[in-house]
Amino acid sequence: MAVVGERGPPVAETAHENELQRLQDRFLVLTEAMQAFAGATTEHPLLLDTIVRRVAEIVGGFCWVALLSEDGRWLIPVASFHPDAATLALIRRLYIAIPLPVDGPLPPSIAFRSGEHVLVNDLSPAQVLARFSPEDHAAVLGVGVRHALLAPLRAQGKSIGVLSMARCGAETAPLDQADVRFLRCLADHAALALSNARLLADAQRELAERRRTEEALLRTEEQLRQAQKMEAIGRLAGGVAHDFNNLLSVVLSYSHLLLDDLAATDPMRADLEEIKKAGERGADLTRQLLAFSRQQVIEPRILDLNHVVESMDKMIRRLIGEDIELKTSPGRELGRVVTDPGHIEQVILNLVVNARDAMPDGGTLTIETGNAELDEAYAREHLGVTPGAHVMLAISDSGSGMDRATQERIFEPFFTTKEKGKGTGLGLSTVFGIVKQSGGSIWVYSEPGNGTTFKVYLPRTDETATALGRAVRLTTVRGSETILLVEDDDPLRVVACGILRKNGYRVLDARSGGEALLLCERLEQPIDLLLTDVVMPQMSGRELARRLTRLRPDLRVLYMSGYTEDAVVHQRVLDAGITLLQKPITPDVLLHKVRELLEAPRANPR
C-alpha cells in the first residue's frame, strides 16, 4: 500500500527505513553492551558510563543510572549523559544532583520498588515543573523533558538500581514499546553484569581476608613454636637451678663459716675466698635461670612505672656514660601495674645495659612509658597477649640493631653475640621470665644498623600504688631462741644447723615432717621458730607448719625453698603471711631472716 510520490522515496518506505535504522541502532547498542558486560569484572562504573552515553545518543535525549546505596535507603546516580554538554550540566544539577529516597513518589523510585518499568510520555510543563522551586523553572523548561522511561535493574529477583532514559523537547516522538523492550533488555544485562562484578569483588575481598588470616596464623604458629621452645628450655633451666641451689647453699655456707673462723693472716683465706666467689657466681646464675624459667618467687606491689624509671635515672646515667644521651618520655596519667619492684628494675637495667652495649660510639637511649589498650585483633596476632588495658614500657636505642636470626634467639638463655667474658647471654632471658611471670609480654623491633626497641606490656590494674615496706633494722643477727630445723637434704641441714648454733641458737633438727612432729610431741619446752624446707617427701613444709601451729599456736614459721611450689606460692606469688627464705642459703641471709622473723611484732601469728 505504499503511496508513490513524484520525488524521493515513498513516505511509507522512508518510515520503514527509519524504523529499521532505529532497531538496528538499538540492536547494535545491545550487542555492544552485552559484549562489554560479558567481559566486565570490576570496571562497571566505566561500563555504565559507556552505556548511558550510547543510549543517550540513540534516543536523542538523556540517560542515567542510579544504584541502591549500601544502607538500602537511597538511589544514588552513578552515570549520566546527554549529547549537549550544557544541557547535561543542567540535568545533573536539576535531576540527579542528590540521591532519591527508595520510598519516594517519583518514577525512578516507583520503578525500583515495583520491579516494573515506568513509561511516562507527553509530560505537560505543569507535570515537569511540579517538584521544582520557581527559581529553577526556567532551567527545567530549558531541559524540556517530554517522555521518560525507567527500567529497574534486577538481579537475583531484587532491584539493585534504575536505568532511565528521557527524550527532551515538545516536538520529539514518544517512547514506544520497542524502546521499552530495548531498555529492559539493556537493564537486565547491566544488572547481571553488576551483580557478577560485585560477587567477584566480594570473592576477591574474602580471598584477601583469608590470605591475611592465614598469614596471621603462620605468624602465631611461629610465635607458638618459639614459646614452646622457651618453655622447654625454661623447664630444663629451672630443674638444673633447683638442684644447684642446695649444692650452692652448702658450698657458700661452708666457705662463709670457714672464712669466719680463719685468722686474717691465714694463707688459706685467699683460696677460700675464691671458692666463695665461684659459689656466688653460681648463685647469680641459678637466680637468673630461675627468673628465666619463671620460678622466682615474686613479691608483687602495685607500682607506677614512671616512679620506677625516675628513681633509676641517676643509676642509668652512670651506666650509659656521657656519650649516650638519655631521653625519657613518661606517659601521662600512667596506669599502675602489679609486679615485683626489684624485678622490674632488673628488667630496665638489663635492657639499658644491652642498649648501651649496642652503642659503643654513643647515641640515644629512649625510655618511654604509656597506657596501651591491646585489642582482640592484637591479641590474635600476638601469642600470649590477653586483650585489655596495659602499661607499656619501651626502651629504644640508636645502636647496631639486629638481624632476624639474632632476634629469634635473643631470649634464649646463654645466647650472646658478645665476646667471651663480656656477656653471659642471661640478661634478656631474665627479662623474659620476669615479664612473663608478671602476666606481660615483650616484643622486639630491630633492623641491622637502625637501632632496637624493646616493648614491654604489663597488665594495668585499677588499684593505687603501694608504698614499699621498710625492712626491719637489726642490731645483731645472734640469738638464743629454740629453732626446729626440718630439711631432707642432709648436707644442707647440717650446715644450716652449724650456722645457727654458732650464732647462739638452740637447734633441733629433723629430716622429715613426721620426725619433726614426733620430736615436738615428746618435747615439753617451747619452740620459737620452725625453719622448714617446703618440698619434702611424705609431708610438705606447709602441712607440717599447719599441724605444728595447731599444737603450738605461738610458733613462727620460716620456709626455705629454691623453687616456687604451690605449697606457699600460688602462681609464683607468695601467700599472705608467709615468710620465705630463698635458696641458695648463705649464713648472712639465713641469720638475717631468722632474726627478722623472731623480732617482728606478732601481728601475724604464723
Residues that bind Mg ion (CB under 5 A): 354, 427
Please give the Cα distance from 429 to 433 (Å, whole number).
Answer: 6
Q: Which is nearer to ligand ATP, 132 or 415 (CB)?
A: 415
Q: Indicate whether 354 belongs to the interface with ligand ATP (CB under 6 A).
A: yes
Residue 99 interacting entry, from Mg ion, ligand ATP, none, C-beta within 5 to 8 Å by type = none
The answer to whether 349 and 320 are in contact (CB under 8 A) is: no
Binder to ligand ATP among 220, 406, 482, 503 (CB under 6 A)? 406
CB of 316 to ligand ATP, least distance (A): 14
Q: Mask 380-399, x = binds ligand ATP (CB under 6 A)?
A: -----------------x-x
Q: Which class for 552: exposed (0-12), middle (13-18), buried (19 or more C-beta within 10 A)?
A: middle
Q: Is the peptide bond before 584 cis (omega within 30 degrees of 0)?
A: yes
- Is residue 334 a contact partner of residue 304, using CB atoms and an 8 Å limit? yes
We find the least distance from the C-beta atom of residue 419 to ligand ATP, in angstroms, to be: 10
Q: What is the nearest approach in angstroms of ligand ATP to the Cβ of residue 328?
A: 17
Which of 50, 121, 220, 416 is in the footprint of ligand ATP by CB under 6 A? 416
Nearer to ligand ATP, 282 or 427 (CB): 427
- Decide: helix, strand or coil at residue 70: coil
Nearer to Mg ion, 109 or 453 (CB): 453
Minimum CB distance to ligand ATP, residue 402 (Å): 5
Instruction: Among 118, 160, 426, 442, indicate the residue that binds ligand ATP (CB under 6 A).
Output: 426
Residue 189 CB: number of other CB atoms within 10 A? 18
Q: Which does 239 bind (CB under 5 to 8 A by kind): Mg ion, ligand ATP, none?
A: none
Between 301 and 356, CB nearer to Mg ion: 356
* One-letter identity of residue 272: L
User: Any idea of the CA torsion for 87, 89, 90, 91, to the nearest 10 degrees?
Assistant: 90
Sign of the alpha-carbon torsion through 508, 512, 514, 515: negative
Q: Check residue 400 for interaction with ligand ATP (CB under 6 A).
A: yes
Among 36, 428, 495, 569, binds ligand ATP (CB under 6 A): 428
* Cα 67 from Cα 192, distance rounded (Å): 13
CB of 425 to ligand ATP, least distance (A): 4
Q: Is 231 helix (H, G, I), strand (E, B) or coil?
A: helix
Q: Is 417 in the site for ligand ATP (CB under 6 A)?
A: yes
Q: Which residue is nearest to ligand ATP (CB)?
A: 427
Q: Cβ 354 to Mg ion, closest distance in Å? A: 4
For helices 177-261 and 587-599, angle between their N-to-C axes, nearest 10 degrees: 100
Q: How far is the CB of 460 from Mg ion (least distance, A)?
A: 27
The continuous run of DSSP H or E covering 568 comes out as none
Contact in structure between 151 and 97 (CB atoms under 8 Å): no
Least separation in angstroms between CB 416 and ligand ATP: 3
The nearest distance, CB 409 to ligand ATP, in angstroms, is 8
418 touches, from Mg ion, ligand ATP, none (C-beta below 5 to 8 Å by class): ligand ATP
**Residue 453 to residue 89: CA distance in whole angstroms:** 57
Question: In the sheet that 482-486 helps form, which strands lie side by side, from edge to edge?
Answer: 506-510, 482-486, 529-533, 556-561, 580-582
Cβ pair 137, 129 in contact under 8 A: yes
Which entry of Mg ion, ligand ATP, none binds 50, CB below 5 to 8 A by partner kind? none
Cα–Cα–Cα angle for 417, 419, 425, rounded to 5 degrees: 50
In the structure grid, which three cell numbers stand for residue 325, read together?
Answer: 644521651
Task: List the alpha helices (DSSP H) in 358-471.
Answer: 376-381, 404-409, 427-437
Among 96, 151, 251, 355, binds ligand ATP (CB under 6 A): 355
Q: Which of 99, 104, 423, 514 binds ligand ATP (CB under 6 A)?
A: 423
389, 396, 384, 385: which is closest to 372 by C-alpha? 389
Q: How many residues bind ligand ATP (CB under 6 A)?
A: 23
140 within 8 A of 95, measured Cβ to Cβ: no
Chosen residue from 107, 427, 433, 513 binding ligand ATP by CB under 6 A: 427
415 binds ligand ATP (CB under 6 A): yes
| Contact pick of 252, 410, 580, 594 for ligand ATP (by CB under 6 A) | 410
Between 246 and 354, whose beta carbon lies closer to ligand ATP?
354
Cell of 13: 518506505
Q: Shortest Cβ distance from residue 249 to Mg ion (Å)?
A: 27
Identify residues 560-579 at the interface with ligand ATP (CB under 6 A). none
Q: Which three cell numbers stand for residue 234?
A: 625454661
- Our CB check for Mg ion shows the closer of 337 and 358 to be 358
For residues 516 and 532, give the distance between their C-alpha atoms in angstroms, rounded to a whole number.
10
Q: Binding residue for ligand ATP (CB under 6 A) from 140, 298, 393, 402?
A: 402
Closest CA to 564 of 550, 578, 543: 578
CB 412 → ligand ATP: shortest distance, Å? 8
Strand partners, 152: 162
Question: How many other C-beta atoms can be found within 10 angstroms of the C-beta atom of residue 215?
Answer: 11
- Tell me: does residue 424 bind ligand ATP (CB under 6 A): yes
Q: Which residue is nearest to Mg ion (CB)?
A: 427
Does position 358 interact with ligand ATP (CB under 6 A)? The reply is yes
Contact residues toward ligand ATP (CB under 6 A) are 350, 354-355, 358, 397, 399-402, 406, 410, 415-418, 423-429, 452
